[in-house]
Amino acid sequence: MTGTRFAGRRVLVTGASRGIGAATAQRFAAEGADVAIVARTLEQHDHLDGSLLATAALVESFGVRAAVIAADLADGDDRARVVPAAVDALGGPIDILVNNAAAAMYAPVAQFPLKRRRLIFEVNVHAPLDLAQAALAAMVDRGEGWIINVSSGTARPIPNSTMTMYGASKAALNRMTLGLALELAGSGVRVNTVEPRAAVMSEGATALIGETVRADQIESMEEMVEAIVALADCPADFTARTCVSLDLIAELHLIVHALDGTPLPPVSRSPVSQ
């Protein structure tokens, strides 16, 4: 059964062929939203499970509309068509934008090639801002809107040089989010970032780091998604925040739900090990 919290809302989620993006799209659909989903993989990735068509089927299973937009967010011209295509397909302006897509490549800074540095910043910094700028005018006109940028704990200095360039892009995303939120203060548009406190074992994360992560270093997909949807239902003065998933859940006394919207039993959790 579809919930109603986001009934009548139009949501755009990037990086939605699998992982956090696909789970977020499913959860919004479970609570009544129409969802536009964006990624490069329309039918099948060459080595990871998940595709836009698979996510669209999940979204539509809740009786809401799914708009499928295959696009390369590293390409400025390609991403310029994303918001207009979503608006056309969903029949109106975007209420909630979730910038989840990310390019994650790790290598020592001294050997990090320029081509990969450019790609990381195109996808992780320029694309979220371009999509936000494209959606903003309609949000401001209506006096409400929610922009959620998915960040990472690597934005803070950590003793791991191979994550430096990825973390630098996420630090830029956090700073950009803050500046945009401050500029939009009083408009009704909320702009926040949220990052996982522990590893979320999506298909991509499992392929990259699955064998190196202990159980006490993992949080569930449902917990991360709970934090994201909370930021799509926050009041106008809840903006300019850099949030951490599990901390936000505790702060707001949230009940974590399954991706179909049903409540999950409480989980007793120890502090996450580093």
pLDDT tens, position by position, 91-140: 999 999 999 999 999 999 999 999 999 999 999 999 999 999 999 999 99
Does 90 reside within a domain? yes
Residue whose C-alpha is closest to residue 30's, from 264, 263, 231, 262? 262
Q: Quick check: 273 pLDDT over 50?
A: no
Number of structural domains found in the chain: 1
Beta strands in 40-188 (DSSP E): 66-70, 96-99, 145-150
When comparing pLDDT for 213 and 10, which is higher? 10
Residue 137 lies in a domain: yes
Query: C-alpha angle with apex 141: 136 to 145, nearest 5 degrees?
Result: 50
Q: Does residue 267 lie in a domain region?
A: no
Q: Supply the range of the domain harboring residue 227.
A: 10-251
The one catalytic residue in 38, 68, 166, 190 is 166
Q: Which tens digits make up the pLDDT trace of 196-230?
A: 998 895 555 444 554 555 555 679 999 999 999 99
Cβ 226 vs Cβ 234: under 8 Å: no
Residue 1 confidence (pLDDT): 53
**CATH number of the domain that residue 88 is part of:** 3.40.50.720
Separation of first and last alpha carbons in the chain: 39
Which amino acid does the sequence have at 189?
Answer: V
Residue 272 falls inside a structural domain: no
Looking at residue 207, its pLDDT comes to 46
* Distances, alpha carbon 101 to alpha carbons 19, 216, 250, in Å: 10, 26, 26
> Is residue 214 situated within a structural domain?
yes
Whether residue 123 lies inside any domain: the answer is: yes
Query: What gap in Å lies between CA 230 and CA 233, rounded to an integer?
Result: 5
Q: Does the residue 265 lie in any domain?
A: no
Our answer to whether residue 166 is catalytic in this structure is yes
Is the residue at 244 inside a domain? Answer: yes
Instruction: Report the pLDDT value the prediction gives residue 19, as an integer from 0 to 100.
Output: 95
